[in-house]
Amino acid sequence: MNKKGLLLVLSGPSGCGKGTVLKELLATEENIFLSVSATTRSPRPGEENGTHYFFLSKEEFEGEIARDGMLEHACYCGNYYGTPKKPVFERCEKGQHVILEIEVQGAKQVINSQPEAVSIFIMPPSLAELERRLVDRQTEDEETVRRRLATAVEEMKQAKDYDYIVVNNTVAEAVKDIAAIIRAEQNRTCRMAEMIQDN
């Protein structure tokens, strides 16, 4: 029995604690890998090709789009960002689970084009708590916090399009929720077809 790995889509508003949850999940669970995005922006000091991003030229990126090589992509501030299909699908074929940590617009593209993808939206416990977390960072001024909160409210409206919602009350519980989702999804009848045929 050589089972395909899961394609997981993970989104959540800025300040929901997504990054911490993901880091803990990757540290505690086996066989889960974070997808590496591609971008046309220049590498920053310390960023390595294939680790932090796949750094592509504009021509290369547009070539990938043209030959349907991107799972999702978008353009921000004049640069392309996206998820190349090949490394993701190769891992899944090997039975490894791949997580795409992407924003809601990119997630929508993947959810629509890959019906077998498992999508998870991470929620802050409440908007009040989200504001507290954004303020606590102390890296942003009041105006930025307000803008991020408004964006978060908009993004949270997209949560209904995801398969699962995980509320990040505590990192440990949120990680357990995602680990349970990954375990449960492997037992979905649609993924157990070979069991039905074999018997």
Binding residues: 12-19
Q: How many residues does the chain have?
A: 199
Give the dihedral of Cα atoms 64, 70, 73, 77; nearest 10 deg. Answer: -30
User: C-beta of 119: minimal distance to its own copies in Å?
Assistant: 9
Cβ-based nearer residue to its own copies, 65 or 180:
180
**Residue partners of 2: CB distance under 8 A and separation at least 6:** 95
Question: Which CB atom, from 96 or from 169, has the smaller least distance to its own copies?
Answer: 169
Q: Which is nearer to its own copies, 92 or 174 (CB)?
A: 174
The minimum distance between CB 198 and its own copies, in angstroms, equals: 7
Per DSSP, the three-state class of 121 is strand
Tokens for 29, please give them.
């669970």
Residues at the site binding its own copies, with contacts judged by CB under 8 A: 120-121, 123, 126-127, 153, 156-157, 159-160, 162-167, 176-177, 179-181, 183-185, 187-189, 192, 195-196, 198-199
Q: What is the residue whose two structure tokens read 């916090």? A: 145
Smallest gap from Cβ 33 to its own copies, in A, equals 20
Return binding residues for ATP: 12-19
Measure the CA–CA gap between 51 and 66, rounded to whole angstroms. 24
DSSP at 53: B
Whichever of 60 and 151 has its CB closer to its own copies, that residue is 151
DSSP letters, 139-187, are SS-HHHHHHHHHHHHHHHGGGGGSSEEEE-SSHHHHHHHHHHHHHHHHT
Residues 119, 166 contacting (CB under 8 angstroms): no
Closest CB 122 distance from its own copies, rounded Å: 11
- Residue pair 146/104 in contact by the 8 Å Cβ criterion: no
Nearer residue to its own copies within complex by CB, 138 or 187: 187
Classified as helix, coil or strand, 179 is: helix
